[in-house]
Chains A and B, each alone.
Chain A
Amino acid sequence: MNPNLLERVRARLASEGREAEFAHGLLALSLPRPALLDTVRLLKDEFGFDLFLDVTAVDWPGRDPRFDVVFHFYSTRDHVRVRLKTAVPEKDPVVDSLVPLYGSAAFMERECHDMYGIVFRGNDDLRPILLYEGFQGHPLRKDYPKEREQPLVRYRE
């Protein structure tokens, strides 16, 4: 257990365009896109955040850049969490894949790609995982019509 860990992480990382603050008991970092891989490598190697919890996105229609991609990490030694956020525009929704650092990222990135259409550069298997081949659009984007269904089986008359 290491109570000052988050404080140290914050002191180390709040620079070079990154902003850090505490929210709901975890450290939330916003960072520019190019800094992502280096920051995550630092978290993993230097601070021992060895468990990749999830990656998801937030859609802010009307905002530019439109999406936030959100990553969560956990340290199984110190039992603390860190959240990373990076903004990506609609035209070019690409971030670096974390597969080289965390193998488990592969499936979670596939899900995020299904639901929000975020492209993870370096993840070469972005086939649908929860959706199916042939599904058009990304259902968790705010502009996906909520009644739009894409059935695979012909309906009975």
Chain B
Amino acid sequence: MNQDDQKTGAFEYLTTRKDELVGWARKFSIFPYPFVTACCAMEFMSVSSTIYDTDRFGAALPRFSPRQSDLLMVVGTITHKQAPILKKVYEQMCEPKWVMAFGVCATSGGFYQNYAALQGIDKIIPVDVYIPGCPPRPESVIDGIMQLQDRIAGSKHPIINETF
């Protein structure tokens, strides 16, 4: 390092907005909880392994406990019988938490409309990002993750109370 810098004390502190800093940290550490129920799982495996590699976005380390995860990825068809389980998993996640509807089944029920299928998970839990496709291409999943990252970076992150 430059001798002068050391003498003047430059780089000893930097200023930023708290929300920007926290948002920047959070957007690169989205630990997903894969709630995988159906055929979209294949595409989920593909997108999280080597070629597409969601680890580039800090979103590859799956946590199999909802309490340790930030992003609930709902991958596949949700039936009415499954819905109470999904709701319970969502309620057990700690704030801050986000939800991704992966594929048309999770988004809207897809081509299922019958006694069994829930017509979109947003009927029971709030959803932050929807990814269309049956199953979605890995590129669309990555696009969804990036949109979610933008959203995290741009939102408020209260860490002490609701206002700060």
Most chain B CB within a 10 A radius of its CB, from A131, A148, A150, A152? A152
- Does residue A151 face the partner (Cβ distance < 8 Å to B)? yes
Q: Mark A129-157, 1 if CB is under 8 A from B, else 0.
A: 01110010001000010111111111110
Within 8 A of A (CB), among B64-87: 80-81, 83-84, 87
Most chain A CB within a 10 A radius of its CB, from B80, B87, B115? B115
- Does residue B114 face the partner (Cβ distance < 8 Å to A)? yes
Assess A146 versus B80: contact at CB under 8 Å? Given A155-B123, A155-B124, A156-B126: no
- Secondary structure of the B contact surface, majority rule: loop
A155: chain B residues within 8 A (beta carbon): 123-124
Q: Tell me whether B114 and A146 are in contact (CB under 8 A).
A: yes
Give bound CA distance, A62 to B145, whole Å. 53
Considering only CB atoms, which chain A residue lies closest to B86 in the complex? A153
Q: Tell me whether B81 and A131 are in contact (CB under 8 A).
A: yes
Q: Tell me whether A132 and B113 are in contact (CB under 8 A).
A: no
Which bracket fits the contact residues of A?
10 to 19
Within 8 A of A (CB), among B105-121: 113-116, 118-119
Q: Tell me whether B80 and A144 are in contact (CB under 8 A).
A: no
Considering only CB atoms, which chain B residue lies closest to A154 in the complex? B124
Assess A132 versus B114: contact at CB under 8 Å? Given A153-B124, A155-B124, A156-B124: no
Considering only CB atoms, which chain B residue lies closest to A115 in the complex? B115
Which residue of the partner chain, among A139, A153, A154, A156, contacts B116 with CB atoms under 8 Å?
A139
Within 8 A of B (CB), among A117-132: 130-132
Q: Tell me whether A132 and B81 are in contact (CB under 8 A).
A: yes
Within 8 A of A (CB), among B121-151: 122-126
Which residue of the partner chain, among A132, A148, A154, A156, contacts B122 with CB atoms under 8 Å?
A156
Assess A144 versus B115: contact at CB under 8 Å? Given A153-B124, A156-B122: yes
Give bound CA distance, A143 to B115, whole Å. 13
Which residue of the partner chain, among A147, A152, A154, A156, contacts B80 with CB atoms under 8 Å?
A152
Give bound CA distance, A156 to B90, whole Å. 14
On A, residues with C-beta under 8 Å from B are: 130-132, 135, 139, 144, 146-156
